[in-house]
Structure 1
Amino acid sequence: MTEKWVLILGGSSGLGLATAKKMASHGYHIIIVHRDRKVDLEEINIHFQEITLSGVKLLNFNIDATNPDKRRQTIDEIKTTLSTTGKIKVLVHSIAKGSLKPMVSNEETTLNHQDIEITLNAMALSLYDWTKEVFEASLFDEDTRIVAFTSEGSSKA
């Protein structure tokens, strides 16, 4: 029997973590890609341990999900772990990284071109890149679903 896996990009907090907990409660094994500071990892690992108490497997990668080399290395590790017994049934993109600066203002610093590029890379292009490379690695199941979330005010990737 093929194991069902969920790959969550940005799953150490917020909507991504809530999705991981919900999917684990339905028997899905979880892969979480997140980028967090060492000081926050103790609390994050408590959440990850709670997820495994439901009897599912959990892989987590504390990397910059927008870095192409890290993405390739992570996908290779996922492929090795899933081998021939597992397939990704759901890809969840929950990376929120952007600027809340106004576009125009006489009083505040405003958005610039680089701010927009950072946001597009983290919240749009990374979904495309991950989807393409996971597909090319033959890790998706026949009927995989892709879900993308975004939220205001987060700076994690």
Structure 2
Amino acid sequence: MDKHLQFKDLWAVILGGSGGFGFAAAEKLATHGMNVAVIYRENKAADKALKEQLLQIAQSNSVKILPYNINALDATARESFVTEFAAIAPEDSVKLLLHSIARGNLKPLTIKDNPSDEAYNTLSIDDIQMTTYAMSNSLLDWTKSILNAGLFNNDGRIIGLTSEGAHKYWEGYAAVSIAKASLESLAKYMAVEFSIYGLKTNIIQAGVTATASLKMIPGSEKLLVMGAERNPFKRLTKPDDVAGVIYLLCTDEAAWINGSIIHADGGEHCR
């Protein structure tokens, strides 16, 4: 089969698709004939550049790529998207919902040497709740909205992204770590309870990758060096590496993978 026909007439909805894993997945899936709705939040200049890139990918692969510069965490924006998208995409056509939102607080729990600034520079409960909704619980809201609109394919896939930081200490990563741990737990329950609709829910744990979001983490330079040193292949994970696994999870052969955390890191987690 021509690879450009593999996912003909099917759609991916990518939350957080302006860069990193989300953008790489959009590009990869498009090469296999999948149409893509890319949801992101960018300023005017970045929005224009991204739309030009997405248009080029769409034209090169004869697919539709629809850019939506909206706040994926806003309920009204989400429902407006679903209504608009339902008028474009046929029922049962969403093969993939990919959650790749990277939005959260990178603060310490406490500041020992500067207590006067602690209230402004340390992690609050509100910070944790915002980060957890952005990087975990919002997946459930998006899943329900797409499902209620009758858009999911009867062999649909839901994929979230986690990191090793969910299980070990990274400086300034507490809120994101909590969110990623929550996402892993949520996906387990979604894998069971949404199976009645034919949906398979999995999480990918990517290796250390030099994305814009990772570079915002305090001490990220050390993470990047250690990641390359630990990796059996002596290099960092690339967004394309993870996009390949996302593609594989969308294939018919991956239909029996459900409720799993899949390492896409070249064996980095083994050390």
TM-score (norm 2): 0.53
The yes-or-no answer on 1:129 pairing with 2:141 is: yes
Please name the residue that 1:104 is paired with: 110
Query: Which among 78, 82, 88 is matched to residue 89 of structure 2?
Result: 82
**What letter matches 1:125 in structure 2?**
N
Count of paired positions? 153
Contact in 2 for aligned 1:11/1:34 (Cα 8 Å): yes
Contact in 1 for aligned 2:90/2:151 (Cα 8 Å): no
**What letter matches 2:74 in structure 1?**
N
Q: Deviations over 1:32-52 (max 9, x none)?
A: 111111121222122212221
**What letter matches 2:16 in structure 1?**
G
Structure of larger gyration radius = 2
Contact in 2 for aligned 1:9/1:65 (Cα 8 Å): yes
Instruction: Note the residue ranges of structure 2 that are not aligned, 5 or more in a row.
Output: 1-7, 163-212, 217-271
Q: Deviations over 1:1-26 (max 9, x none)?
A: x7111110010111100000000011
Shift of the 126–14 alpha-carbon distance from structure 1 to 2, 3 Å rule, reads: same
Q: Deviations over 1:40-77 (max 9, x none)?
A: 12221222122212111011110000100110010011
Contact in 2 for aligned 1:65/1:71 (Cα 8 Å): yes
Please name the residue that 2:41 is paired with: 35
Contact in 1 for aligned 2:51/2:67 (Cα 8 Å): no
Q: Relative CO higher for 1 or 2, CA cutoff 8 Å, sep ≥ 6? A: 1
Structure number with the higher strand fraction is 1
RMSD: 1.9
TM superposition outliers: structure 1 runs of 4+ over 6 Å: none
Please name the residue that 1:56 is paired with: 63
Distance in 2, matches of 1:33 and 1:153, equals 22
Distance in 2, matches of 1:67 and 1:17, equals 21
Secondary structure of the structure 2 residue equivalent to 1:149 = strand
Distance in 2, matches of 1:67 and 1:128, equals 13
Shift of the 41–28 alpha-carbon distance from structure 1 to 2, 3 Å rule, reads: same
